[in-house]
Amino acid sequence: MNEETRRVYDRYICEMVVWLRPYQTDEEFLLVDVENISSGGILVHTSHPFEMGALLDLQISVLQQTEMVTVEAKVVHCRTLEDEEYLMGLQFTRANGVNLPTFMAWLEAMFH
């Protein structure tokens, strides 16, 4: 594994409520199934693929907050599965209303 592909954060298998939509649009959020999550990103199952590098708005429920946190993420990979389903890897790039390191710390705290 080279330096660019090495995983930096521990991944956690979880059941979370996560919604996504194209970045800064008025489109409705789509509910997605979470395969795993880390402080750096999330792997989701979806029936709607997005292009590599596309920016998305995510709404994620974290224990430390009563309301969902909106996070910006970039599609870093998308693999086609059976039955018109897709597995997408998303890298967190920004969190609204909180700095990204704080959001990442919230995620870490949920699994430790």
Please report, as a single letter, which amino acid is at residue 25.
Answer: T
pLDDT of residue 1: 43
Q: What's the chain's Rg over C-alpha atoms?
A: 13
pLDDT on residue 6: 60
CATH no. for residue 45? 2.40.10.220
Number of domains in the chain: 1
Instruction: Record the tokens describing residue 25, joined without a space.
Output: 């649009």
pTM of the model: 0.87
Return the pLDDT at 64: 74
- 5 within a domain of the structure (yes/no): no
- Tell me what pLDDT residue 92 has: 95
Does residue 6 form part of some domain? Answer: no
Q: Is residue 96 part of a domain?
A: yes
| Cα separation, 88 vs 67, whole angstroms | 25
pLDDT tens per residue, the chain (112 residues)?
A: 444 556 678 888 888 889 999 999 999 999 999 999 998 999 999 998 899 999 999 999 887 778 888 999 999 999 999 888 999 999 999 998 889 898 888 888 888 7
Residue-level pLDDT at 61? 86
